[in-house]
Homo-oligomer: A and B are copies of this chain.
Amino acid sequence: MICLTRTGAGQRYLPAGMVRRMPSDSPPEPARSGRPRSVAADAAILEATRASLVDLGWSKLTMGDVAMRAGVAKTTLYRRWAGKNELVVDAVAVLFDELELPDLGSLEADVEAVVLQFAALLERPETKTALMAVVAEATRDEALRDRIRNSIVARQKRLVLEGRERAQKRGELPPEPDRAVADRTADLIFDVIAGAVVHRALVSAEPVDCVWARHFTRLLLSGLGAASGRRDGEGRTPGRRQKPGGSV
């Protein structure tokens, strides 16, 4: 809705610095004339945004405050971002690059580790308050939804694909019969993992600790029909399906 009120001149700025700011998305940069944008300012603004999120939270964060922290004029922010929502998405998105799939020898251990990584990321004050607020705004803003999808969701989804591929090579998961089923299942797994962790951490407001991560992982993998690859000897016997019941 903000975009609708922007002037034509303002719109010109958007394609360059706003809609796509993934490093790989602006490769050639056809050497426009004129004073170039300060990349230092970009970094300072995003850093200031995260700092402001920590101190003030989403609702009290203001563009003026961010500009002041970054040592930049408020107008500069509006020249690069349409508003608070877009700015915060970009400021938070890079944090998701920290997520990576470890190789601990079994799918179960890998998933557990990712769950804990994700939970740790959600615990950080600059993410926990910002993520939900941005998602809330995105429910009424198509462009913002795309931005979240392209910058944050995509970063997480690749972990699911990587993990499944690796597990299939290990023989822990069966290969997918066809492409459509594979995509659908990956989406499902992604929503289950991310959704459960977010819900546990932010809605239920209970800690996502090792114990919870283990129970959740077992529930998930048991549902996926994965052969147990746990090698530390604890838990269920390898090669045998877990006994159904409350020990999940």
A contacts, CB < 8 Å to B: 57-59, 128-133, 135-140, 145, 148-149, 153, 174-177, 181-182, 184-185, 187-188, 190-192, 194-200, 202-206, 212, 215-216, 218-227, 241-248
Copies in the complex: 2
Q: When chains A and B are docked, how far (Å) is the Cα of A204 from the Cα of B145?
A: 9
Residues in chain B near residue A136, CB distance under 8 A: 58-59, 129-133, 135-136
Q: When chains A and B are docked, how far (Å) is the Cα of A194 from the Cα of B202?
A: 12
- Are A248 and B139 neighbours in the complex by a CB distance under 8 Å? no
Summarize A's interface: helix, strand, loop or mixed.
helix
Given A132-B135, A174-B245, 6 other A-B residues pairs in contact with their CB atoms under 8 A = A59-B137, A135-B136, A138-B202, A185-B215, A192-B192, A222-B224
In the complex with contacts A58-B136, A191-B200, A244-B215 CB distance below 8 A: no
- Are B177 and A246 neighbours in the complex by a CB distance under 8 Å? yes
Residues in chain B near residue A181, CB distance under 8 A: 246-247
Report the nearest B residue to A129, measured CB to CB: B139
Partner of A225, one of B128, B174, B197, B242: B242
- Are B188 and A195 neighbours in the complex by a CB distance under 8 Å? no
- Are A57 and B140 neighbours in the complex by a CB distance under 8 Å? yes
- Are A145 and B246 neighbours in the complex by a CB distance under 8 Å? no
Residues in chain B near residue A187, CB distance under 8 A: 204, 206
